[in-house]
Amino acid sequence: MADFGADKLDAFRAEVGAWLNANYPAELKDPHAKTDPEAIWGGRAFASSDDPQIVWMRRVAEQGWTAPTWPKAYGGGGLSSAEARVLEREIALGGYRAPLVSFGLWMLGPVLLEFANEEQKTEHLPKIARGEIRWCQGYSEPGAGSDLAGLQTRCEDKGDHWLINGQKIWTSYANRADWCFCLVRTDTTKKHEGISFVLIDMATPGVQTRPIKLISGESPFCETFFTDVKIPKENMVGQLNGGWTIAKRLLQYERQNISGGFGGAGGAAGDLGQIARRYVGHDETGALADADLRSRITKNKMDFQAFGLTTARIAAESRASNGPSAATSIIKYAAAAFAQERSELMVEAMGAQGLGWEGDGFSPGEITAARGWLRSKGNSIEGGTSEVNINVVAKRVLGLPDPK
């Protein structure tokens, strides 16, 4: 019997392939094309830009394919999860750049679809899908990281608006974001039940950001200060004091997405085995000369391969069901470990050349490897630390009791 589903998918694959080929900006076909590295994040700063990356983003967004499975009414593509997977693979196999990288797409959008009212969905989702607004995540505070529910940023009801005072920390790209999805305290007498989820325009008077420099030399995140920040009443998502449920759901999407990128940022690009061969040399069979390093690199590559298949399967399952579950903590934990191991192996293979911070004695790839190794230390912290993710697995996946 003919498999009409498979036929339909094949037709869709052909359609997608032809569209991507016809619409990919010619400038981006050159791997050294000059584009603003921030353009891939979109946002107000690029509203009138004709950077080729932005041209690409706009074309894909017009198809609804930046958010393939979202309903068309909210700027999505209305695709089934199988069709979305086809699109994802065609982009990857064709070597096309991602059209848009966005916390709005990965984290906020899915929870808005689940928890927001119609006005909020209509207002925010299309702007996320079109890359018009860049979002940041205001969760962590100086006294509330792993113990996130201990957050203190106050949000008071002032009748016709909310008034926000407090401080967030480690807010990735807060200085470049247009809006922030933020956890605030609306009841000081309760812990988890006193938290609400609000949306804040970063251009509102009283919002201030101060970049923090990382060990890798980059400043990707900030301290964020809210001083008498007034936001409209309609910017609260879900119920007053009902933000903790939304917060946890969003963390599941965050962990799933970090794992989809295999552990988060850090490390250098390229095939680890080939790079190692260039530095360590090879034997007469062409195999890496250092047998111990060879076996550890092979194991890492096999782990990555198996892990990639597992995360793809889990992502497909979650798209086809009720979204991600607490099990995302398992893959977040594993992804961070593999990514850190890969960075370590890269630097080890390069030997002394893997220790370059800057200067003429090191190639750009070597500097990226060294700085990426330092950056990868954050993989087991961002999106919830590895220890905390293990706790989530123990409690919510295995159902183990709290330690006495």
Ligand X SMILES: Cc1cc2nc3c(=O)[nH]c(=O)nc-3n(C[C@H](O)[C@H](O)[C@H](O)COP(=O)(O)OP(=O)(O)OC[C@H]3O[C@@H](n4cnc5c(N)ncnc54)[C@H](O)[C@@H]3O)c2cc1C
Footprint of ligand X (CB under 6 A): 136-140, 145-146, 170-172, 221, 378, 381-382, 384-385, 387-388, 391
User: Cβ 171 to ligand X, closest distance in Å?
Assistant: 5
**Cβ-based nearer residue to ligand X, 18 or 390:** 390
CA separation for the pair 336, 386 (Å, rounded): 8
CA torsion angle for 91, 97, 100, 105 (degrees, to 10)?
A: 40
Contact assessment for residue 247 and residue 139, using Cβ atoms and an 8 Å cutoff: yes
| Two tokens, residue 66 | 């930046």
Q: Is the dihedral of CA 324, 64, 115, 103 positive or negative?
A: positive
Q: Which is nearer to ligand X, 119 or 402 (CB)?
A: 402
Residue found under tokens 């200085």: 175
Least distance CB 169 / ligand X (angstroms) = 7
Structure-token pair, residue 164: 């926000």
Q: Which amino acid is at 202?
A: M
> In angstroms, what is the minimal distance from the CB of 39 to ligand X?
20
Residue number, 146 or 295, with CB nearest to ligand X: 146
Provide the minimum distance between the beta carbon of 150 and ligand X in the complex, in angstroms, as a whole number: 9
In b/e form, how buried is each residue of 332-346, taking b as 16+ CB within 10 angstroms? Answer: bbbbbbbbbbbbbbb
Q: Which is closer to ligand X, CB of 69 or CB of 209?
A: 209
Residue 298 tokens read as: 């092979």
Q: CB nearer to ligand X: give 128 or 350.
A: 128
Which residue, among 224, 160, 156, 223, has the nearest Cα to 185 in the 3D structure?
A: 156
From start to end of 59-146, where are the E strands?
Answer: 135-138
CB of 244 to ligand X, least distance (A): 15
In the bound state with ligand X, the residue whose beta carbon lies nearer, of 298 and 385, is 385
Q: Quote the least distance from Cβ 344 to ligand X, whole Å.
A: 18
Backbone CA torsion sign across 106, 111, 114, 118: negative
Min dist CB 340 to ligand X, Å, is: 12
Q: Three-state DSSP class for 368?
A: helix
If the CB atoms of residues 145 and 273 are measured against ligand X, the closer one turns out to be 145
Question: How far is 297 from 285, CA to CA, in rounded Å?
Answer: 17
Indicate the residue among 354 and 384 with the shorter CB distance to ligand X.
384
Read off φ and ψ for residue 59, nearest 5 degrees.
Answer: -65, -45
Write down the least CB distance from residue 237 to ligand X, Å.
Answer: 16
81, 99, 74: which is closest to 24 by C-alpha? 99
Residue 292 neighbours by CB under 8 Å, 6+ apart: none
Nearer to ligand X, 101 or 381 (CB): 381
Q: Which is nearer to ligand X, 69 or 186 (CB)?
A: 186
Q: Find the shortest distance in angstroms from Cβ 107 to ligand X.
A: 9
CA distance 128 to 173: 16
Closest residue to ligand X, Cβ-based?
145
Whole-number Å distance between alpha carbons of 15 and 23:
12
Closest separation in Å from C-beta 136 to ligand X:
6
Q: Which two tokens stand for residue 349?
A: 């293979």
